[in-house]
Structure 1
Amino acid sequence: MKVIHKSARDWRVTPNLVDYDRARASFDWRDVPDVCAGMGAGLCNIGYAAVDRNAEGSAAARTALRFVSGAEGEGELTIHDLSYAELGSFARRFTNVLRSLGAGKGDRVFTLLDRCPELYVTILGALRNGSIVAPLFSAFGPEPVETRLQSGVANVLVTTKALYEKKVAEIRGRLPALRHVLIVDGDQRDGGDATRGFWPLMDAEDDDAPIEPTTADDPALLHFTSGTTGTPKGAVHVHGAVTMHFITGLYALDLHPEDIYWCTADPGWVTGMSYGVIAPLVHGVTSVVDEGVFDAERWYRILESQAVTVWYTAPTAIRMLIKAGAELAAAFRFPKLRFIASVGEPLNAEAVWWGKQVFGLPIHDNWWQTETGGIMVANTPAFDIKPGSMGRPLPGVDACVVHCDEDGTIHLVDEPDIEGELALRPGWPSMFRTYLHEEERYRKAFRDGLYLTGDLVKKDGDGYFWFVGRADDVIKSAGHLIGPFEVENALTDHPAVAEAAVIGIPDPTTGELVKAFVTLKDGFSADEHLRRDLLAHARRRLGAAVAPKAIEFTDALPHTRSGKIMRRLLKARELGLPEGDTSTVERGAKPDLRSVAP
């Protein structure tokens, strides 16, 4: 295996985490700086840590959010900056808006917005108020919106006139807890109308709004994560999670105060909230917010024109940039870019090397879940990179590989390179505290003092973790347990393949056969010659027992709206089975790259 070795010559700034072993050995959560110390002893609030302390300190005049809009392609980009002081003033005014409406601590404030300034003002003002923030992705259809508003018992919704009329108006009568709907482009302040204007209410308030005295254990965020079947799970996170956002922003994303940072995820998903809103603001950096949709040339133009230094994106986006061709990337220069990280699904080795070729930087994969609330396993700037690996557990994170017997007994896997389930020892600050209305389901996620993630992994002799697949995705063929990602990784290493998804299909002899669905890069034809070439390529890489026995070419793979390939949907369609929860399926030909959802 080729390893990308790192030395001080590779650093454009000295990383925040240099001596990994020493940091892990000495790490204690009690030693992490208290980013809420200014609130007083025993108090903690994400809004205070993200905005108040910067708006009232030395970072007040620094740009907090840089909104990028305008024409795609070669058109000019329009920039609108909000300083920390301005953002703080708006957030305080929205806190007063909520109080004027009778919405207080513990009330649920939902957002259904594109990435506009009002989204960030709502999130931060509601957190300051002690309200629970539940962001929804604006591309959801009426059914998933209704499901989440009902399950989350929404009290306040902030949205636009068009989104309200299209996705909420008809279901409003089925949402008895929804007392107020605020329209960011509306002009109705109060009265008998079903909605009120966001800005008329804001204009009526001043920015003198003392922060609600919340503690680290008070609920702050409600994130929905889709299950294989049934309704989405609502994971509840607390204000104390901000400690994790701070330390992972420091170690995993290597944020420094002078950085220009771009997280491409939408705040309607947990990545966009944790690392598109909270972590960069806590660190006082300038965040780029792209209000447009994915376009390869536009993204390159933003990276170049905004002098982005740290970029956090998704494997699907990277693969689409690869598909757009190296020639497009070569038309731009990125002299300030010093660190690229990726999350959302496993990053194949080819994409890591592509980053080094195009940007002069490898792409650093990391791993976490909605339930963990923050990055757990990562490749940091000072690490040697093993392309295809998730990296190593961050300081303060205790991760292991386990086997679970049929009787429920947990066994720790001590030997390297043995597949098992990834388990985490509770104690990190951003661990979810419950599944909303599903306490039994929450309890089942923990066993023998461990949180069981449901992800199958291997750990090598150097402590690097390697993703194998979700427990439900593993293929059992002729006595072999085959992780789909291993097969997909081999296929995407072929120069013709843009994306691959692998499932098991029933076979009377072997139990299951490995079948791959493949999309091709531009310039390649889906013919029998290429099919045979791909089968041979996979056999050379993986061996006959693991390589796919069938390959089907397709124009597009089913993705969630956050970019994850939905293998279980492919399997359901292949076998004519029920499709289960499809509320997060991207209906178009490609995923919506405004979002990333671990």
Structure 2
Amino acid sequence: MEENWIEKDIEKLPVRPNLVDYEETCRTFSWDEVGKKFDGLPSGGLNIAHEAIDRHADGPLKEKTALIWHGKSGERKTYTYADLKKKTNRFANVLKKLDFEKGERVFILSPRVPELYIAVMGILKNRSVMCPLFAQFGPEPIFQRMEGGDAKGLMTTERLYDKKVAQIADRLPALKYVLLIDAETHRDERVLSLPRLMEEASEDFKIGPTDEEDMALLHFTSGTTGKPKGVIHVHKAIYTHWVTGYYVLDFHPDDIFWCTADPGWVTGTSYGIIAPWLHGITNIVDEAEFNAERWFKILQDEKVNVWYTAPTAIRRLMRLDVEPLKAYDLSNLRLIQSVGEPLNPEAVRWGMEKLKLPIHDNWWQTETGGIMIANYISQTIRPGSMGRPLPGIEAAIVRRNDDGTATVVTEPGKEGDLALRPGWPSMFRGYLHNEEKYRKSFVGGWYISGDLAYRDEDGYFWFVGRADDIIKTSGHMVGPFEVESALMEHPAVAEVGVIGKPDPVIGQLVKAFVSLKKGYEPSEELKRELLAFGRKKLGVAVAPKEIEFMENLPKTRSGKIMRRLLKAMELGLPLGDTSTLEK
């Protein structure tokens, strides 16, 4: 590996001894042993809210700070596990009083305020199903998800209700109640004041028997076509949340943890709420949107130990050319993890240069429910790699055959479908109301992720691209990520999105859309320089043939560059579902 600086510096970092011998840990790992980490319900079964809140509140962590909330206007509030038990009990009693039943879907459309986090656990205590929505969705994306999820309840704010929900409410006849977080009084029999209901509710609540396979969470994910799909997860998913908190995020008992993802996305639920509370640690929440100075100040003032963020946020920091260690004391920070899309090698280098810590990439999907492949704090990082599978996870590169079977590709460096052996606890249990789509996700005994990748000789997995993103040019198969990562190494480049553009001679030519760092301006001279840089780094067959400058690339609100939108705009095609587009 040419990244020897990573290998040398990683040796200086603290490690967890249980993953130094990765192979031995994987060989002896048992999901049944993980299940013993949880208390289980006195009434029987397994409930996420009991394991994340009540077992701590009823034990020695009762007065430990569970949540530190930063309001966008400068407020700061703290909640202990005992506080959260009382408040989540009240919310569960509100649902019980309103006759919300086990399995009924309750949606949350809210900014990152404390009521959101309380509601998540209150819904789960009532054995209803928690369905998060991103607060910046418009009315139609909200309607599609609530209709597709058979919404029986919604918690939101007065502003969001008036602006986005009131106009679609009549199209949702199954919606029983809307709970308004900030309304002082009930509006009518259907639209109610949550503070008033909470004040009337008891702080005592007994969670009913919960089977580990009961539906707990419903996340919606968008494809390139069609309506959003409701991805079903069950209470047993916490096995994966706990294990990944231990092995990947390296939680220590006294850690301060911050996941910057919004709970409207699966990362913000699995790791912005559930995983840290399963481990009984302190969780940071910031209501405000991205701001570099604010973020670094929170990392400093709250003495954050583990920071889980996204490549988009890191690239934004890279564009600012900041020197954080000169302005902030980040000495408590020991681990940075990233997820959302593949992390370019240049971002790993930036972490070492600017933060004196590498940034560890990991891979998973809404369908997997939790991290599946990761770069661990105890192992050498290979910049650009997803890392190696989690103990208890069997991952492989497979080739799908015409007869419905799948063949495992054993040759290192050979590209194919990234696949997982079904059966891990947080594996999705279905697409709601779409059993046929769910069945098609599995081929020959493997879950087919839709991502193309390859595995090197040491078992590290490397992302190539989404199956529908691969570019076929002059007989070559080109992964957009490879081209994007190479161009990212140029000092002028902040972000890159690469597509295949139809060409009558070579099939498709590689076209790159480039966003520049501050201090650089688009020009024909810079365009020629980048084309030459690409040819030098990648070779003529793979390098982009065209470059177009864009001030901002289209991204989802969770930070993924939307290549399909770049392609649609380039070819004048319909844009499809843009409900997750960053505004």
Report the TM range for the smaller structure's normalisation. over 0.9
Structure 1 residue 36, shift from structure 2 partner = 3.6
| 2:311 paired with 1:310 | no
1:187, 1:196 within 8 Å by CA — same for their partners in 2? no
C-alpha distance in 1 between matches for 2:437 and 2:318: 40
Per-residue deviation, 1:579? 1.5
Question: In 2, distance between residues paired with 1:421 and 1:548?
Answer: 24
Q: 1:8 to 1:345 in 2, by over 3 A?
A: closer
- Residue 177 of structure 2 aligns with an amino acid whose one-letter code is H
Q: Kindly provide the amino acid, as one letter, of the partner of residue 390 in structure 1.
A: M
The 8 Å contact of residues 509 and 545 in structure 2, kept in 1 or not, is answered as yes
Cα separation, partners in 2 of 1:459 and 1:9, compared to 1, 3 Å: closer
1:362 alignment counterpart: 358
The separation in 2 between residues aligned to 1:562 and 1:498, in whole angstroms, is: 18
Specify which of 275, 282, 288 is matched with residue 284 of structure 2.
288
Alpha-carbon distance, 1:408 to partner: 3.7
Q: Distance in 2 between matches of 1:95 and 1:409?
A: 46
Query: Which residue is equivalent to 2:129?
Result: 132
Paired residue for 1:414? 410
Measure, in 1, the Cα distance between the counterparts of 2:276 and 2:546.
45
**RMSD between aligned alpha carbons?**
1.4
Q: Does the CA contact (< 8 Å) of 1:310 and 1:340 recur in 2?
A: yes
* Equivalent in the alignment of 2:107: 110
Q: Distance in 2 between matches of 1:14 and 1:510?
A: 50
- Count of paired positions: 581
Residues 1:338 and 2:340 aligned together: no
Report if aligned partners of 2:39, 2:55 keep a CA contact under 8 Å in 1.
no
The letter of the residue matching 1:473 is: D
- State the alpha-carbon separation in 2 of the partners of residues 105 and 524 from structure 1: 56
SS in 2 for 1:564: coil
Report the Cα offset of residue 17 of structure 1: 2.8
For residue 213 of structure 1, what is the amino acid of its counterpart? P
- 1:562 partner SS: coil
Where does residue 48 of structure 1 map in the other structure? 50
Equivalent-residue separation in structure 2 for 1:412 and 1:262 (angstroms):
38
Please list the CA deviations of residues 446-501 of structure 1 after superposition, one character each: whole Å capped at 9, or x if unmatched. 01111000000011001000000000000000110000000000000110000000
State the TM-score, normalized to the length of structure 1. 0.95
Alpha carbons 2:15, 2:377 under 8 Å: kept: no
Asked if 1:320 is matched to 2:316, the reply is yes
Equivalent in the alignment of 2:3: 2
Rounded to whole Å, the distance in 2 between the matches of 1:13 and 1:306 is 23
Structure 2 residue 166 is the aligned partner of structure 1 residue 164: no
8 Å CA contact retained: 1:348, 1:388: yes
Shift of 1:529: 1.3
Structure 1: distance between partners of 2:439 and 2:401: 18
Give me the whole-angstrom Cα distance separating, in 2, the residues matched to 1:389 and 1:380.
12
Q: How does 1:59-70 map to 2 (within 5 A)?
A: 59-70=61-72
Q: What is the deviation of 1:49?
A: 0.8
Instruction: Give the alignment partner of residue 29 of structure 2, picking from 27, 30, 52.
Output: 27
Matching of residue 511 in structure 1 with residue 513 in structure 2: no
Q: CA offsets, 1:265-289, max 9 Å, x none?
A: 0111100000000000000110110
Determine the C-alpha separation between the residues in 1 that align with 2:539 and 2:116: 50
Q: Look up the match of 2:422.
A: 426
Change (3 A) 1:532 1:110: same
Note the C-alpha offset of 1:12: 3.8
**Contact in 1 for aligned 2:309/2:338 (Cα 8 Å):** yes
Deviation of 1:69 after TM superposition, in Å, equals 2.4
Q: Give the match's secondary structure for 1:473.
A: coil
Partner of 2:273: 277
TM-aligned CA deviation for residue 70 of structure 1: 4.7
User: C-alpha deviations, 1:513-567, integer Å up to 9, x for none?
Assistant: 0000000001112111111111111111111000000000111111111111000
Q: Structure 1 residues 355 and 15, CA, compared in 2 at 3 Å: closer, same or farther? A: farther
Q: Give, as a single letter, the amino acid of the residue that structure 2 aligns with 1:188.
A: T
What is aligned with 2:446? 450
Gap change, CA 1:405 and 1:9, over 3 Å in 2: closer
Q: How does 1:180-259 map to 2 (within 5 A)?
A: 180-189=177-186, 192-259=188-255
Structure 2: gaps (5+ residues): none
| Mapped partners of 2:124, 2:18: distance in 1 | 28
Quote the residue 2:492 is aligned against: 496
Q: Specify the code of the residue in structure 1 equivalent to 2:168.
A: I
Q: Indicate the residue corresponding to 1:483 in structure 2.
A: 479
Q: 2:86 aligns with which of 85, 89, 105?
A: 89
Q: 1:227 to 1:134 in 2, by over 3 A?
A: same
What does the per-residue CA deviation read over 1:374-418, in whole Å, with 9 as the maximum and x for residues that have no partner?
000000100100111000001000000011234444221000001
Q: Show the counterpart of 2:379.
A: 383
Among 431, 434, 437, which residue is 2:433 paired with?
Answer: 437
Going from structure 1 to structure 2, the CA distance change for 1:584 and 1:532 (only over 3 Å counts) comes to: same
Secondary structure of 1:43's aligned partner: coil
1:289 aligned counterpart, secondary structure: strand
Name the SS for the 1:247 alignment partner. Answer: helix
Q: CA deviation at 1:121?
A: 0.8
- Asked if structure 2 preserves the Cα contact closer than 8 Å seen for 1:6 and 1:382, the reply is no
User: Secondary structure of 2:60's match?
Assistant: coil
**Deviations along 1:68-87, whole A, 9 cap, x unmatched?**
1255xxxxx43210111001
Cα distance in 2 for residues equivalent to 1:566 and 1:197: 39
Map 1:532-571 onto structure 2 (within 5 A): 532-571=528-567
Contact 1:372–1:430 at 8 Å: present in 2 too? Answer: yes
Unaligned runs of 5+ in 1: 72-76, 588-598
Per-residue deviation at 1:205? 1.0
Question: Aligned partners of 1:546, 1:104: CA distance in 2, in Å?
Answer: 56
Q: Distance in 1 between matches of 2:453 and 2:99?
A: 48
Matching residue's letter, 1:324? L
For each residue in 1:149-188, what CA deviation from the matched residue of structure 2 results, as whole angstroms up to 9, or x when unmatched?
Answer: 1111111100000000001001111001110000010122
Distance 2:214 2:51 in 1: 15
CA distance in 2, matches of 1:161, 1:261: 31
Q: Does structure 2 retain, via aligned residues, the 8 Å contact 1:16–1:254?
A: no
In the aligned structure 2, how far is the partner of 1:131 from the partner of 1:106? 5
For 1:90 and 1:41, locate their aligned partners in 2 and report how far apart those are by CA, in whole Å.
Answer: 21
Shift of 1:32: 1.1
Q: Secondary structure at the match of 2:450?
A: strand
Q: Residue type matched to 1:349 in 2?
A: P
**How high is the TM-score relative to the length of structure 2?**
0.97
Deviation of the 1:41 alpha carbon: 8.3
**Matched-pair contact (CA < 8 Å) for 1:6–1:383:** no
Identify the residue that residue 75 of structure 2 maps to in structure 1.
78
State the alpha-carbon separation in 1 of the partners of residues 113 and 50 from structure 2.
21
Cα deviation per residue 1:26-61 (whole Å; 9 max; x = unaligned)? 111111143442414861010111101011111111
Residues 236 and 436, structure 1, Cα contact 8 Å, conserved in 2 = yes
Instruction: Tell me, yes or no, if the aligned pair for 2:105 and 2:150 is still in contact at 8 Å.
Output: yes
Which amino acid counterpart does residue 535 of structure 1 have in structure 2? L
**Percent identical residues:** 56
Amino acid at match of 2:250: D
1:390 and 1:140 map into 2 onto residues whose CA distance is 30
**3-state SS in 1 of match to 2:146:** helix
**1:134 partner letter:** C
* Distance in structure 1 (CA, Å) of the matches to 2:564 and 2:102: 39
Cα-to-partner distance string for 1:310-347 (whole Å, 9 max, x where unaligned): 00000000000011113355311200000000000000
Does structure 2 retain, via aligned residues, the 8 Å contact 1:343–1:365? yes
The aligned residue for residue 392 of structure 2 is 396
Going from structure 1 to structure 2, the CA distance change for 1:498 and 1:329 (only over 3 Å counts) comes to: farther
Contact 1:296/1:321 (8 A) holds in 2: yes
The whole-number CA distance in structure 2 between the counterparts of 1:63 and 1:409 is 51
